[in-house]
Amino acid sequence: MSTVFSHLKKYRIAAVAAILLMLIELVTELLQPYLMIKIIDDGIQQNQLNVVFMWGGALLVCSILAFVIGIFSSFYAAHVSQSFGFDLRKTLFEKVQTFSYASFNRFPESSMITRLTNDVMQLQNTIFMGLRIMLRAPLYVVGSIIMAFVVNPVLAIWFAAAIPFLAIFLVWVLKRGSNLFRGVQQQLDLLNGVMQQSLIGMRLIRVFVRIKHESSRFGNASGELMNRTIMAMRLTELTMPIILLVMNASVIAVLWFGRLELDANDATVGEIVAILNYMTRATGALSLMSMLVVNFSKAKASAQRVEEIVLTEIDLKDTNKDENSKLEFGEVEFSNVTFRYSEGEIPVLENISFRAAPSETIAIMGATGSGKSSLLQLIPRLYDVEDGIVTIDGADNRLIKLERLRQRIGYVPQDIMLFSGTVADNIRWGKDDATLEEIMKAARQAQIHDTIMKLPMQYDSMIGQKGVNLSGGQKQRLTIARALIRQPTILLLDDCTSALDVHTERALLDSLKEIQCTTFLVTQKVSSTINADAILLLDDGRLLAYGTHGELMRTSELYYKIYISQFGGVGVSNA
């Protein structure tokens, strides 16, 4: 957890100020019961009104001073905790952005969201309480015991006797509670995952009449969260009654033996009242400590979960020695490339070799799971190869700065992702400083301009979350426009023309031919491959065939069968 809390170092001056002010506040509060002895024994008992006013005034000054100092201490504590939360969220978000897909897949999205929000908030709240109460509460108890011994050592023994037992009990609750609250946070992850899936798949749930099933699944997850929370709270809720039971027993003992001491003239009324006052304040401090135990149990679990992200090793590291390649041409070459997602798994790609010349269009075909998308993702280094080498313009892509490499690549993933905002904003997402003319040019190249012009506010029309108010083909073309506006050297299209009709797809591919970039097109349609400069035919991660449409029609039995299945042997072109 030291890594997480290292974010506090830059705020150590404010933290020290909060603690020092808290200590001054503590001292002034501990003086108050002692002043009450003077008021009672020297003033009220002796009928000396001037003494009551004098020490009463001192008591009032102490109270006001403690109040003012407490406000400043709270201000500094709030500054430290909120700043810590801001920095930690930023660090976590930036760390997640550096993850490779392999690292990112270790954490479910719902868990990632919970860690960056709920867990960080738990930590910053605990830091605030720590600066205000963590030292204050135990010091208040210790200070009260010391002052009680100063007032009357005999009676103070009955006060001090309860503290060791309560300290051991609170430590046990802290250890036991941290494990229980970790389970609560893990179940919260699962519940968020169920909610996320249900909300994303709402249309499918309704079409398949699965509302009852999903409601039951949510109810089970929510019920398990409730049960785990109840288990954790049962433990922590025991602390307050036990603290009160032990402390009330001590109060009774002090009252009993205080009467005996009073009869023997070994104690005064003021001393008994002061010790009872210290015990009452200590009981309040112990109650705060029980609340701290609950929060520290939660914070310990949250810190461990956050640290899992912070300490996740970045397996996709940027190079310290950038190649001098300017990435102007877009020549891509795979040389004996083998890749698997994790150690021990069957290779997704095995011994793949081919070369794409600048401005060529390379179509990639193969059955589901043959490694088409994986091959595409190796080019911008979303993953690194296990064996072999991927070169771009003759430079190993592992020796090119990631930012510079990816700035020259336009990528359209298989899973379409649009953002809430205008049409123009979504296209401009590929290039922040793009002008309206550049946006419109990219839209024309992607064959979406005419459709946009028919929208109520054209390029200023709002797009709903994930493009819910657009058709599948419109979303695909919009994301292609977002990639094209970058004017990329290499364009990666991962099966992103599947929702387009033949005419629109043909117009799009013809438009891409006019752009000076090397294009990789993952597709299942032979109509998309006929005019490609080369076709990669993958099967179980192996390169089964490589050549033009005409060459594969003559040399690849599998490709010929695919063609026949889609065209029925009619109009065999370039064969």
Domain termination residue (choose one: 310, 344, 378)? 310
In a domain, 328, yes or no: yes
CA distance 278 to 285: 10
pLDDT digits (tens, 9 = 90+) for 62-111: 888 888 888 898 888 888 888 888 888 888 888 877 777 767 767 777 77
Q: Is residue 316 part of a domain?
A: no
102, two tokens? 């392999």
Task: Say if residue 367 is in the same domain as residue 505.
Answer: yes
Per-residue pLDDT reduced to its tens digit, 378-391: 888 888 888 889 98
Q: Is the pLDDT of residue 267 over 80?
A: no
Element (H, E) at 162: helix 162-200
Regarding whether 372 and 305 lie in a shared domain, the answer is: no
Q: What is the DSSP string of 310-352?
A: HT---SSPPPSS-------S--EEEEEEEE-SSTTSPPSEEEE
Environment class of 389 (CB within 10 Å of its CB; exposed 0-12, middle 13-18, buried 19+): middle
> What pLDDT is attached to residue 569?
56
CA dihedral 553, 556, 561, 564 (to 10 degrees): 0
pLDDT over threshold 70, residue 236 = no
On whether the CB atoms of residues 67 and 25 are closer than 8 A, the answer is no
Structural domain boundaries enclosing 462 = 417-486
Q: What are the CA-CA distances from residue 347 to residues 104, 119, 343, 377, 545 (Å)?
A: 20, 37, 9, 15, 18
**pLDDT, tens digit, 9 for 90 and up, residues 486-523:** 888 888 888 877 777 777 878 887 787 778 888 898 88
| DSSP letter (8 states) at residue 570 | S
* 445 shares a domain with 473: yes
Does residue 315 belong to any structural domain of this protein? no
Least confident of 126-140, 356-370, 474-488: 126-140
If asked whether residues 302 and 358 sit together in one domain, one would say: no
Q: Which of 20-24, 133-137, 392-396, 462-466 shows the lowest per-residue confidence on average (mean pLDDT)?
A: 462-466
Instruction: Please report whether residue 221 resides in a domain.
Output: yes
11-56: per-residue pLDDT in tens? Answer: 888 888 888 888 888 788 777 777 777 777 677 777 777 777 887 7
**Per the structure block, which two tokens stand in for 86?**
């801001």
The count of domains in the chain is: 3
pLDDT of residue 551: 85
Q: What is the pLDDT of residue 574?
A: 47
* 437/433 Cα distance (integer angstroms): 11
Looking at residue 467, its pLDDT comes to: 62
Question: Domain boundary at 468, 486, 504, which?
Answer: 486
pLDDT tens, residue by residue, 179-234: 777 777 777 777 777 777 776 666 667 666 677 877 888 888 888 888 887 877 77
Residues 51 and 174 in one domain: yes
Structure tokens of 74? 């709270």
Q: Are strands 534-539 and 361-366 parallel, antiparallel or unpaired?
A: parallel
Residue 572 has pLDDT above 70, yes or no: no
pLDDT tens for each residue of 445-487: 888 888 888 888 888 888 766 666 677 778 888 888 888 888 8
DSSP 8-state symbol, 40:
I
- Same domain, residue pair 362 and 240: no
pLDDT at 398 over 80: yes
What is the predicted pLDDT for the residue at 320? 64
Residues 511, 480 share a domain: no
- Check which CATH number belongs to the domain holding 480 and give it: 3.40.50.300
Angle formed by the axes of helices 153-160 and 162-200, nearest 10°: 30
Q: Are residues 327 and 376 in the same domain?
A: yes
The answer to whether residues 482 and 492 belong to one domain is: no
Q: What is the mean pLDDT of the chain?
A: 79
**Do both 40 and 158 map to the same domain?**
yes
In the chain the first and final C-alpha atoms are separated, in Å, by: 65
Establish if 264 belongs to a structural domain: yes
Half-sphere exposure of 34 (CA within 13 A, CB side): 16
Alpha carbon distances (Å) from 198 to 217, 468, 537: 10, 16, 37
Secondary structure (3-state) at 390: strand
Task: Say yes or no: 122 and 38 in one domain.
Answer: yes
Q: What CATH number does the domain containing 295 carry?
A: 1.20.1560.10
The H-or-E segment that residue 167 falls in is: helix 162-200
**Whether residue 305 is found in the same domain as residue 359:** no
Query: Of 486, 518, 544, at which residue does a domain stop?
Result: 486
* Mean pLDDT in residue range 250-274: 74
pLDDT tens track for 436-446: 888 888 888 88
User: Is residue 165 in a domain?
Assistant: yes
Digit-coded pLDDT (tens) for 539-549: 888 888 888 88
Residue at 116 is within a domain: yes
| Whether the predicted pLDDT of 343 surpasses 70 | no
> Encoding tokens for residue 527?
């109509």
Residue 249 lies in a domain: yes
